[in-house]
Structure 1
Amino acid sequence: MLPTWNQNPPFTLTRASHVRLAVTDLSASRDFYRDTVGLVVTEEADDVVYLRGLEESAHHSLVLERAETAQALQIGLRVRTDDDIVAAEKHFAAHGIEHERVELPHQGPTLRFRDPVGTHMELTSSMSLVERKMQNFDEFVAGAPQRIDHYQCVTYDVQAATDFWTGLGMRMSEYTAKDDTDELWGTWMEVKGNTHDLVFTNGRGPRLHHFAYTVPDVSSLMRAADVAGATGFGEEIDRGPGRHGISNAVFLYLRDPDQHRIELFTTHYQFIDLEEQPIRWDISNRRRAQLWGMPASRRWFFEASEFPGENVREPLLTATPDTLEDFLGVH
């Protein structure tokens, strides 16, 4: 059923902020995100690399941490002030949600927790500031990503995830449901005024499907695809270029050396006015995910990055989308 949007949440979320990934070859991952994707390296050490988009003044939006196993560590959201971190602690304590305050380089007060479906989250109220490079056009490389925009997570219970996050102030802009029902297969939720900061889709979870950066234009996507081909990552173009029905964005998905998935895309439409209603899509409607062209592959639909220590559970909803292999009759 459709969730209730809480317009007076216990604390104020402002946007998707940063993602932390465990990678097995730090140098190879740094090179991929810097040279093939086009992110800016802000800082690096023996065991960690911090990167950001060209438009960003926050110290980092992607953190790569050296590890023996590739995993999605946390996905991060910003809150408005330090007081919101305190309010989040009080809210989680009152509702039995395990959480911990952590001290991290280049971040202000930071709170880690797991949502009810096991997504590993991180809230922070501030970051160290660095130079924006949005007019350093001579430094634009590959797709020239401008800023982090959203995450898509796979979950076994879309309804529970959606109820939790709309209760914290996120607003559903679009959704996919089992045909002729309001059984939620996927929900697109936002706090910053475009179509999504956080997405949950039905599947084996909890897992991180992808994180996404905006790019200046469609030619930037083509440039990223060309650079991926030239740098040996052509086969790691996971999907696209194409255009989503949901959000209306033109997109390109790539996999990094550890198979974490990043999306580069042209940005969404506005979803700000309070009278706006969420757009509904039947799961059988292929146009929801691909407005033109063929559907995504099984690999795109069913592969994702796991969170540490989380058991991956089978989805409660059995409906599944058509894949490229289904479309072509490949078994």
Structure 2
Amino acid sequence: MASSHDYNPGPQIAHAGGINLGTPDLERSLWFYRDLLGMEVVAQSDGVAYLRGYQELVHHSLVLTQQAEAKVNTYSFRVKRPEDVELFHQQLTAAEVETVELPAGHETGRGTAIRFLIPGGEHPIELYYDIDKPLAPPELRSKLPTNSSRRRGWGVRRLDHLNVQTSPSTVNQAEGWLREALGFKRREFVMVPQAPQTVMASWLSVTHQSHDIAIGISPDETNGRFHHVAFNIENYSDILRITDEIKDLDIEFGHGPGKHGIGQAMYLYIHDPGSGHRVELYSGGYDIMDPDFAEIEWKLPAVEWGQTWYGNLLDVGPGAKFLETMPSAGLKA
């Protein structure tokens, strides 16, 4: 038997680390994320702002980029060890996945990274390890050392998960690649009833959460689509308070409040008024502690409970606004 000192699990993903959202109206988006959601602007220059939630000790999890088109520029994941960036680069190159090397500082406060497109999904992914951990300015600093700043506004704690979509013809490839190449574990999933070999939606994680990323089929049969980014909110009551307050604000209301059966968290979907990007405010959810947790398949008619355990059912019929998605950038955008 090999010594435990010889064991090397290979490169691994630690968690969902960030998202770079292109917005045609940066000031309006900043008002939404900074003033309403209470995120801290850690740095801002040349039409780019870096923000974090009040329990994120790292430099940022959200990048807002002023640009003509509202699209997702990148989806980022932090790896577990500094060497994992290079090890993933080697694996991707060996698998003939085109990869771009990014120097330290490509995103302010972040170290070297690599970028590639998910095979089949065509979503631009960045992997990194090194990231600064700046203190908040004194006027925002919390007395709690586990908080990067005081809780303000609607109280976004951290980025929770990403939700993307791709075409029915490529979704199996993309979802399988996330599991096989990046090590995500399928936690819950739904197959297309009329085509039971095709994934309709899959919730995947590498952490204790039910999902760090979810991927499903795009209704308009295109690749590289973005459905929403979720930010974690501490309490159910906070979700209800936000629901009440947005009625007095010029913000597009999406769906909720309600509770998902899949993931078991309370949700509220709203839209960034500067860009139209969909944002889920997400509270609660179950934790996965068992190393042998068995993936769970949802089938009709119970899948309706998976979508909404309580609250109004999500409208997922033909032409439903909840099915609308936003584009992602290419590899070298």
The alignment's TM-score, normalised by the length of structure 2, stands at 0.85
Count, aligned residues: 301
1:213-242 Cα shifts (integer Å, max 9, x gaps): 111101111222233223321xx1211110
SS at match of 2:254: strand
SS at match of 2:63: strand
- Choose the corresponding residue for 1:161, options 163, 174, 177: 174
Q: Which stretch shifts more, 178-187 or 71-80?
A: 178-187
Q: Which stretch shifts more, 153-162 or 281-290?
A: 281-290
Over 6 Å off, 4+ runs: none
Contact between 1:175 and 1:184, CA under 8 Å: does it hold in 2? Answer: yes
Distance 1:126 1:138 in 2: 21
Q: Which residue matches 1:3?
A: none
- Choose the corresponding residue for 1:256, options 267, 272, 276: 272
Distance 1:300 1:9 in 2: 43
1:138-171 Cα shifts (integer Å, max 9, x gaps): 9433320101111010111321111101112110
CA root-mean-square deviation: 2.2
Q: Which residue matches 1:328?
A: none
Shift of 1:295: 2.1
**Would you say 1:277 and 2:294 are equivalent positions?**
yes
Which letter maps to 2:327? E
Distance 2:210 2:176 in 1: 17
Shift of 1:286: 1.1
Q: Which residue matches 1:327?
A: none
Identical residues among aligned pairs (%): 28
**Would you say 1:183 and 2:186 are equivalent positions?**
no
SS at match of 2:83: helix
Distance 1:69 1:102 in 2: 23
Distance 2:292 2:62 in 1: 34
Quick one: structure 1 residues 177 and 225, their matched pair in 2 at CA, closer, same or farther if it must change by over 3 Å? same
SS at match of 1:240: coil
Distance 1:73 1:212 in 2: 17
SS at match of 2:172: helix
Contact between 2:124 and 2:330, CA under 8 Å: does it hold in 1? Answer: no
Contact between 2:110 and 2:130, CA under 8 Å: does it hold in 1? Answer: yes
Distance 2:240 2:149 in 1: 18
SS at match of 1:270: coil
Q: Which residue matches 2:5?
A: none
Contact between 1:80 and 1:125, CA under 8 Å: does it hold in 2? Answer: yes
1:247-266 Cα shifts (integer Å, max 9, x gaps): 00000111112110111111
Quick one: structure 1 residues 141 and 224, their matched pair in 2 at CA, closer, same or farther if it must change by over 3 Å? farther
**Would you say 1:214 and 2:232 are equivalent positions?**
yes
Shift of 1:36: 2.3
1:31-89 Cα shifts (integer Å, max 9, x gaps): 11112222222122231111111100011100001111111111110001221011011
Q: 5+ residue gaps in structure 2?
A: 1-7
**Would you say 1:171 and 2:182 are equivalent positions?**
no
SS at match of 2:284: coil
The alignment's TM-score, normalised by the length of structure 1, stands at 0.85
SS at match of 2:156: coil
Which letter maps to 2:62? L
Which letter maps to 2:72? A
Which letter maps to 1:247? G
Which letter maps to 1:127? I
Which letter maps to 2:297? R
**Would you say 1:49 and 2:49 are equivalent positions?**
yes
Q: Which residue matches 2:36?
A: 36
Q: Which residue matches 1:194?
A: 209
Distance 1:220 1:142 in 2: 10
Q: 5+ residue gaps in structure 1?
A: 1-7, 311-331
**Would you say 1:146 and 2:157 are equivalent positions?**
yes
Contact between 1:158 and 1:202, CA under 8 Å: does it hold in 2? Answer: yes
SS at match of 1:185: strand
Match runs of 1:232-247 below 5 Å: 232-233=250-251, 236-247=252-263
Contact between 1:176 and 1:283, CA under 8 Å: does it hold in 2? Answer: no
Shift of 1:272: 2.9
Match runs of 1:79-158 below 5 Å: 79-103=79-103, 104=106, 105-116=108-119, 117-131=121-135, 135=144, 139-156=150-167, 157-158=170-171
Distance 1:44 1:224 in 2: 27
Distance 2:263 2:298 in 1: 12
Quick one: structure 1 residues 37 and 26, their matched pair in 2 at CA, closer, same or farther if it must change by over 3 Å? same
Distance 2:230 2:39 in 1: 12
